[in-house]
């Protein structure tokens, strides 16, 4: 009798397994895994964009996210029935919370003082929901298919593949093409579509399926309408980040480029950081270019690292003895924009179209590492060292490469942040350069838009400054000497800062601390 009952149970189980098709759930695993890793990357990137310090932002996000996923996995054991209903609820919640995450973060940064609290809430909330997904899916398959060993292997295989796809799709396509808000809404839409597909495919297993379908479709319509309006929403929110009217906003593979204008004041921002204002940029660029030019007798070949706006090139072209200028800027969209945009062309004197100029779109570090040619002047016009990628361009190793790229009589100069507002950062750069050059001369000037700004001039051997003989708007033969005089509140004991080493980036710590208190 027992044998007959066992045979009947086995037949029933086989019929049930035959009726239940779990292949769609494996595809679901792939999709939710892609969404999960992208949410993690979006929040990390957004926080870095708004607050800098990428190591801190990514570390906090990854740590909290993984812990929250663990909490979600733990809580999943309390879910014992109506698994399909619970899974749909989790997907809807993840789609809404993740889809609108960047919108919430941007608004909280503009209008509140509790950005980090809101960020932590989003990380933990999305993490807990993501932590629930795989355990619930596993339970669903386990209850409807006896071969749990094979199904577990398949689930984790698709989960890991999804993680790879998401981690590649975000930096290579989604972020540079769509930006923060549109990317988040697209990924949120995927989560909600997953819940709708599961609902339609496994309707017989779901309680109140028709009512749930109305809710799912309604949420899908809302997020889809938000997606269609994403560009307008982005422009509207960006307007709160900038003082003046935005006339151009472009996300490239490397950075967010924004140009604003108010009357005659044209401003360029990269990743939210002001690069120049047309009303006073000439002060900065005259000091950046003409001071090193006065410390070397030859200007035949000039290298610019950064400076894709063409403003430093404009100043260099004032010297007739310059034969060749090589400009190395990592972002081709930046140099293209500044060579085609009429507003910027007017400001840089169409310098990027000069026959003397050669533009190379490459990483500055890689260029000086591999270059074998020598230059008479090297001008380092790079953004401030607020992340690890930029920090390596302010290290002793980098300055060693700079030295190797100079002729015997050559000079180099680097913008070095503010000796007043970021004192430790400025003198850290000075001390680091001194590990490679016999002479490192700090100088500074007042740029009204930026405040007090500093530079470090680097060369070997003895030099004497020549007289200024090119047309300028700010520098004169009489005032140029004042650039080398520092007030008591800007001087600093170099023993209180460390050399910025490639493997111990002390400059980032100094800079981020000073920016927070700027």
Q: Which residues participate in catalysis according to the annotation?
A: 381
CA nearest neighbour of 29 among 169, 163, 134, 151: 134
* Parallel/antiparallel/unpaired status of strands 301-306 and 375-381: parallel
SS3 301: strand
Cα separation, 421 vs 69, in Å, equals: 41
Cα separation, 266 vs 261, in Å, equals: 5
Euclidean distance between the first and the last CA atom of the chain, given in angstroms as a whole number: 84
Contact status, residue 381 vs residue 453, Cβ threshold 8 Å: no
Cα separation, 158 vs 345, in Å, equals: 50
Give the H or E element holding residue 443.
Answer: strand 439-447
Taking CA atoms, 69 is separated from 34, 123, 128, 332, 426, in Å, by 15, 10, 5, 39, 42
Q: What is the 3-state secondary structure (H, E, C) of 15-74?
A: HHHHHCCCHHHHHHHHHHHHHHHHHHHHHHHHHHHHHCCHHHHHHHHHHHHHHHHHHHHH
CA angle 121, 124, 129 (to 5 degrees): 120
Q: Residue with structure tokens 């292949």?
A: 23
346 CA to centre of own chain: 29
Contact status, residue 347 vs residue 313, Cβ threshold 8 Å: no
Cα separation, 58 vs 297, in Å, equals: 47
The phi, psi pair for 305, rounded to 5°, reads -105, 115
* Secondary-structure percent of the chain, ordered helix, strand, coil, rounded to 5: 60, 15, 25
CA nearest neighbour of 307 among 272, 267, 276: 276
If one counts every other C-beta atom within 10 angstroms of the C-beta of residue 147, the result is 13
């Amino acid at each position: 009798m027992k044998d007959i009952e066992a045979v009947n149970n086995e037949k029933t189980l086989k019929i049930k397994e035959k009726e239940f098709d779990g292949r769609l759930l494996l595809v679901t695993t792939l999709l939710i895994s892609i969404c999960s890793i992208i949410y993690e990357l979006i929040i990390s990137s957004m926080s870095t964009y708004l607050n800098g310090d990428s190591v801190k932002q990514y570390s906090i996000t990854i740590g909290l996210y993984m812990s929250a996923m663990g909490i979600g996995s733990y809580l999943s054991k309390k879910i014992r029935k109506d698994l399909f209903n619970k899974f749909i609820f989790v997907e809807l919640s993840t789609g809404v919370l993740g889809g609108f995450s960047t919108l919430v973060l941007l608004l909280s940064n503009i209008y509140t003082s509790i950005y980090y609290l809101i960020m932590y809430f989003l990380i933990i909330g999305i993490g807990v929901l993501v932590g629930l997904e795989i355990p619930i899916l596993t339970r669903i398959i386990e209850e409807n298919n006896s071969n749990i060993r094979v199904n577990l292997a398949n689930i984790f295989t698709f989960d890991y593949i999804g993680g790879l796809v998401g981690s590649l799709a975000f930096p290579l396509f989604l972020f540079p093409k769509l930006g923060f808000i549109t990317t988040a809404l697209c990924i949120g839409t995927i989560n909600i579509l997953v819940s709708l597909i599961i609902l339609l495919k496994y309707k017989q297993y779901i309680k109140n399926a028709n009512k749930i379908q109305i809710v799912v479709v309604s949420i899908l319509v809302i997020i889809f309408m938000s997606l269609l309006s994403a560009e307008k929403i982005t422009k509207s929110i960006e307007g709160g980040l900038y003082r003046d009217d935005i006339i151009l906003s472009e996300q490239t593979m490397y950075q967010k480029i924004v140009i604003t204008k108010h009357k005659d004041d044209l401003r360029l921002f990269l990743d939210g950081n002001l690069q120049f204002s047309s009303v006073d940029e000439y002060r900065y660029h005259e000091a950046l270019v003409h001071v090193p030019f006065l410390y070397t007798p030859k200007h035949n070949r000039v290298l610019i690292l950064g400076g894709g706006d063409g403003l430093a090139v404009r100043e260099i072209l004032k010297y007739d003895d310059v034969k060749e200028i090589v400009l190395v800027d990592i972002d081709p969209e930046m140099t293209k924009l500044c060579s085609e945009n009429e507003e910027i062309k007017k400001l840089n004197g169409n310098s990027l179209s000069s026959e003397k100029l050669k533009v190379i779109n490459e990483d500055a570090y890689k260029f000086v590492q591999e270059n074998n040619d020598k230059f008479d002047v090297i001008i380092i016009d790079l953004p401030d060292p607020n992340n690890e990628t930029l920090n390596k361009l302010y290290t002793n190793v980098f300055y060693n490469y700079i030295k190797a790229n100079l002729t015997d009589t050559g000079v180099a100069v680097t913008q070095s942040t503010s000796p007043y507002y970021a004192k430790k950062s400025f003198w850290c750069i000075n001390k680091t350069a001194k590990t490679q050059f016999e002479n490192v001369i700090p100088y500074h000037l007042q740029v009204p838009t930026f405040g007090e700004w500093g530079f470090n001039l680097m060369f070997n051997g003895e030099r004497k400054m020549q007289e200024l003989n090119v047309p300028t708007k700010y520098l004169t033969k009489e005032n140029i000497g004042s650039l080398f005089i520092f007030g008591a509140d800007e001087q600093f004991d170099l023993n209180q800062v460390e050399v910025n080493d490639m493997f111990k980036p002390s400059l980032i710590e100094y800079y981020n601390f000073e920016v927070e208190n700027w």
